[in-house]
Structure 1
């Protein structure tokens, strides 16, 4: 039976699938257009523009094999479809773009086995899976990849006999100073290599084992290649007296090196290429299956549209209950005994880089020993993509900061009498030897509508739970910090301040919440 036969079930199934895709495109237009916006403004995900055309071409190559199958809707695929609708709802509640965009893409993919059937979807499994390369996920790897790059580069320089002084992601060698920034992480190479490597493996290998091995290699090679690229650029700059491998040619050399490495990878991989397997004819469909396929296709479309609309209805109801007025955040209570207020440091000093809070407060106190502790509060209400508490743009030290480096971060339980609170402890260091406070210790935690946590994921989950309960998205960041000097350890001062004043801070946040 030809796929274009007017009397065949494909005549019903394909229009049903097309209309369902159009409906989902309208319902989830926000997530899908946001994806395209990221592609256009981020070099890391610019490759995603070619993903949909490639997926369509891969599916078109299978048209002869698809024509052998009868489209038979599989209504049980409504279960994972509903799970993705729920994921979109949770992502929307806590403004996690990766979750909403992944869910929207997954729903577009899942309607294929839903409307056309599992056997049809299995024929084009890789083209369907390939669409997930369009989802801009991966920037969470930046800190880890930057750390690995810095570790390898410093170790390789020392093995080469070059003395290195390192502070976090910045290091100094005799010929000058260098810094590992986002562009040095290699995440762009990693994304592009994995996307192209997976396509190469699918087109050139038949066995699943070879495909997975090559895909894994295409993940590992760009990571190691980026380490070598960073080391080579630093060495070229060092040996040339910083005449080459700096400025614009820094990036040019990186892409040229990456292109050479990937070309070699594909040349080697082509040696084990396999001929494509012949398609096996599917089992013949019974007349009853042919007759039931038509009405099941439209039933699947109706059920999918209903499930897709439900989370939007839930969001509208939740947003109608949430507070949206201005936040009044005031520290009215005095500090506990043993702590006296002091003038707040001016803006030339360090401060956390939190983006567009609904309200913020800064204060400073010092104890009887003269150790000063600073407090920074950033309160968030009515969070969205541009303003949210837990975000990659809310950091203690921006990568572009040349005055401070985050040299170490860990989660630390702090005993405060009968209460134990987990904080995120970060050690900061200034590369400027003339700065008065060259070292600083920072404690950070989140307040989520009365709950405290130092973990990003738990903060997101708590926020989603609070919104589902109708409690709004009231949340805040609590950051305390102190200079770490010889004879005046900052940790003891921070512990004493938090133990004496955490209740006061929480009451101020609760008062801001209750004034909505």
Structure 2
């Protein structure tokens, strides 16, 4: 005999209404097809959750979303699930976004598109009324998408700005070069872990859930979300300043190594805890749930045996269409190994035995690379680096945030300044990315070799320095039958300490492009081997 308590518990769990069963089976079937068809994107997202502390919360986001859906079961039960009008058109847009993202191998785009397809499958099968009732649980799924690394450069700059300003306000002299600065007790640098991106994403995710569960007022929710964004930013700046100050006052015996990460999370935990305690003072009471009329339930019973086959067929077609398009485009992609052709050197330049520096760009997983040294008529040296990419994928790709001139944790080289320069190649304007690099020399702020480097891409037979244009050109190349071949090109030259040295170095780099541009293009085309 069941106990009184278990009997009451059973009475509160309502059986699944008949008119929900077939639509739910159709929804599960569609979701299964989406996850199988886009399994590479789903797996890539899960791998990022595994290896990145910043996005580890992605594992619990789907679980939380399912729990939030379960909380709405009393509201959903009387509703009549019907395929939503034109939902498949929005799914087509998400599928097109996935195709575009896959063409340029952008994880953020493909994973965002996959999540959008999952979310839109609800109105496609169950209808817009159901989707509206589940608006927040569905929207919360987007927190599983590991997007946010594009904020790193700006957040690192803000952290360095605040830390240096606060140190100077504390009476500590600071010498700053880019993201690195020196104080009397030692040298410090702002790296990715100091950006505060982990704190920001964690605060926004948890803050959004707290605001939804705690408040019914839209105004309160927006105010709390604004606080959840501002608090971790300011807290991270204060954290960075306190860690440097603590290291300085302790003679670098405290807040160094792993300690500063532990102290940082402890400080952040306290700040966020206080934020939630304050926010809890204005919690709204839960709203009462009013069940729909019996008439609505009867309408539901009348459609109990209808299955949305047409809407399901349209959704399946939209989901699978991008994979058919990719199969056709991949026929034009070369797979043979790359053998980079070295450009022929023309007067007034001459080839040298080795490049003018031991520095190399931190470009990853290139199909082949070339490092060459040249010298002009005035015996001024110049270096050429080419990283060539073919048969690109999500690990080996031409345009990537991982492909940088200098890694932030590089023990030998540092990037001091970045900018752009209006150059020319083959008589055409080319706005290149420019950077000043310096070789580290322990104990000295201004010692070591300095370089001026220009970087740009050759993709789809054209030059560009824009990451966005490079991505677009790469996609157009695959669509037009060019293939996915492309090259990352860097030319660089040493910088002297003389006044106007950067102007002279820029003129030297431009002189190389003026006289050697045709030879460079010829070598790249010969490497591609399809002209």
Does the alignment reach a TM-score above 0.5?
A: yes
Structure 2, gaps ≥5 residues long: 1-12
1:115-514 equivalences under 5 Å are 115-279=125-289, 285=296, 295=306, 297-335=308-346, 337-345=347-355, 349-415=358-424, 418-432=427-441, 433=444, 438-485=449-496, 486=498, 488=501, 489-514=504-529
More displaced, 265-274 or 222-231? 265-274
Change (3 A) 1:292 1:10: closer
1:73-152 equivalences under 5 Å are 73-152=83-162
Give the drift of 1:267. Answer: 1.1
CA distance in 1, matches of 2:420, 2:14: 58
Aligned structure 1 segments of 4 or more residues deviating by more than 6 angstroms: 286-290
Give the drift of 1:428. Answer: 1.5
CA distance in 2, matches of 1:355, 1:416: 26
CA distance in 2, matches of 1:434, 1:173: 11
Q: Secondary structure at the match of 1:9?
A: helix
CA distance in 1, matches of 2:257, 2:345: 52
CA distance in 1, matches of 2:445, 2:123: 65
Give the drift of 1:3. Answer: 7.3
CA contact (8 A) 2:424 2:513 kept: no
CA distance in 1, matches of 2:364, 2:426: 34
The residue number in structure 2 matching 1:29 is 39
Q: Secondary structure at the match of 2:487?
A: strand
CA distance in 2, matches of 1:325, 1:425: 33
Change (3 A) 1:255 1:352: same
Change (3 A) 1:146 1:5: closer
Give the drift of 1:242. Answer: 0.7
CA distance in 2, matches of 1:293, 1:302: 19
CA contact (8 A) 2:23 2:307 kept: no
Change (3 A) 1:341 1:295: same
The residue number in structure 1 matching 2:3 is none
1:29-48 equivalences under 5 Å are 29-48=39-58
CA contact (8 A) 1:355 1:393 kept: yes
* Cα RMSD for the two superposed structures: 2.2
Give the drift of 1:407. Answer: 2.0
CA contact (8 A) 1:4 1:10 kept: no
Change (3 A) 1:166 1:5: closer
The residue number in structure 1 matching 2:9 is none
More displaced, 360-369 or 188-197? 360-369
Q: Secondary structure at the match of 1:402?
A: coil
Please report the TM-score for the alignment, with normalisation by the length of structure 1.
0.94
Per-residue CA deviations over 1:87-108 (Å, capped at 9, x if unaligned) read 1111111111111111111111
Q: Secondary structure at the match of 2:238?
A: helix
Per-residue CA deviations over 1:428-461 (Å, capped at 9, x if unaligned) read 1234259975321111111112111111111111
Give the drift of 1:299. Answer: 2.0
Q: Secondary structure at the match of 1:171?
A: strand
Structure 1, gaps ≥5 residues long: none
CA distance in 2, matches of 1:313, 1:3: 43
CA distance in 2, matches of 1:397, 1:60: 49
More displaced, 272-281 or 20-29? 272-281
